[in-house]
Amino acid sequence: MAKHGGYSGGMPSNMGNLMKQAQRMQRQMEEKSQELEAKEYSVSTGGGAVELIMNGKFEVITLRIKPEVVDPDDVEMLEDLVVAAMNEAIRLIQSDKQSVMSGLAGLGGFGL
């Protein structure tokens, strides 16, 4: 007696393909995540008075402050410049990660 629908008790062919695509997408996401963690993001504030380099793991790699910005009577301004640089670096990293991951997670990854 002939089997109907081509299902022989194992995983249907299209389900197997879907699983392979999901595994490939997961590998790609892991690779991109590692690349993004290693990437360095450089920002500056105050017209270059403060420069900050942060990696994709949100670790500060370098912080450079021009000596002429260091004013003992206006420490608050320097603090604001450092905070602004850190926040900008964080925003860049989050935006980059979101952009890369949403591109990988798009429906195109499943052939839809």
Nearest alpha carbon to residue 63 among 39, 38, 89: 89
**Per-residue CA distances from 47 to 7, 43, 63, 77, 96 (Å):** 67, 11, 15, 13, 24
State which residues form the domain around 96. Answer: 40-104
How many domains does the chain contain in total?
1
Here the tokens at position 11 are: 């995983």
Q: What is the pLDDT of residues 51-94, one digit of tens each?
A: 999 999 999 999 999 999 999 999 999 999 999 999 999 999 99
Residue 55 lies in a domain: yes
- Cα 76 from chain centroid? 31
CATH number at residue 92: 3.30.1310.10
Q: What is the pLDDT of residues 6-23, one digit of tens each?
A: 555 555 678 888 888 888
Q: Over 80: is that where the pLDDT of 111 sits?
A: no
Residue 66 lies in a domain: yes
Cβ-contact 35, 93 below 8 angstroms: no
Here the tokens at position 90 are: 């964080």
Residue 6 lies in a domain: no
